[in-house]
Amino acid sequence: MKNILKVEELAMFGLSVWALYFFNADWWYYLLLLVGPDISMIGYAGGNKLGALMYNLCHHKGVAVVVLFLGLFLPDMTIQIAGIILFGHSSMDRMFGYGLKLQKGFKYTHLGLIGKTK
């Protein structure tokens, strides 16, 4: 089952890459897709609770969809692309096993512990 979910996340990541291509996004948007939302990890400098809040805000697919639809409603291409980047990055992270963070610490996610367990 885990592999099916990873393939599903890969498909959503691929859809995001295609959407950037469809909107003729500049090359640097693809770099943002890969690493942009991870800047939210800086919240962990303020502790686990703030870190989890900031990380989850930038990695929640629901937030990404709201941002995308906000961009469609306004209409603003930059906001639309931001939604695509948030959605695609979240899919990429989940494909690699990184989920939304729990307040216990960075390695605790809704998908389980990150890394090796003893």
The string of DSSP codes covering 46-72 is: G-HHHHHHHHHHHH-HHHHHHHHHHHH
Higher pLDDT: 110 or 67? It is: 67
> Is-contact 20 84, C-beta < 8 A?
yes
79 inside domain: yes
pLDDT at 66: 98
Residue 95 lies in a domain: yes
What's the total number of domains in the chain?
A: 1
Contact of 20 with 29, CB cutoff 8 Å? yes
The mean pLDDT value for 12-38 works out to 96
pLDDT in tens, 62-71: 999 999 999 9
Q: Does 118 reside within a domain?
A: no
C-alpha 103/C-alpha 51 separation (Å) is 8
- Match 């703030």 to its residue by tokens: 50
Average model confidence (pLDDT) across the chain: 93
Q: Which domain holds residue 89?
A: 2-113
- In a domain, residue 54? The reply is yes
List, for residues 77-105, the tens digit of each pLDDT value.
999 999 999 999 999 999 998 989 999 98
Looking at the domain assignment, is residue 41 inside a domain? yes
**Does the pLDDT value for residue 118 go beyond 80?**
no
Instruction: Give the pLDDT confidence score for residue 114 in this predicted structure.
Output: 82
pLDDT on residue 83: 97
59, 40 Cβ separation under 8 angstroms: yes
At residue 116, the pLDDT reads: 60
Residue 71 lies in a domain: yes
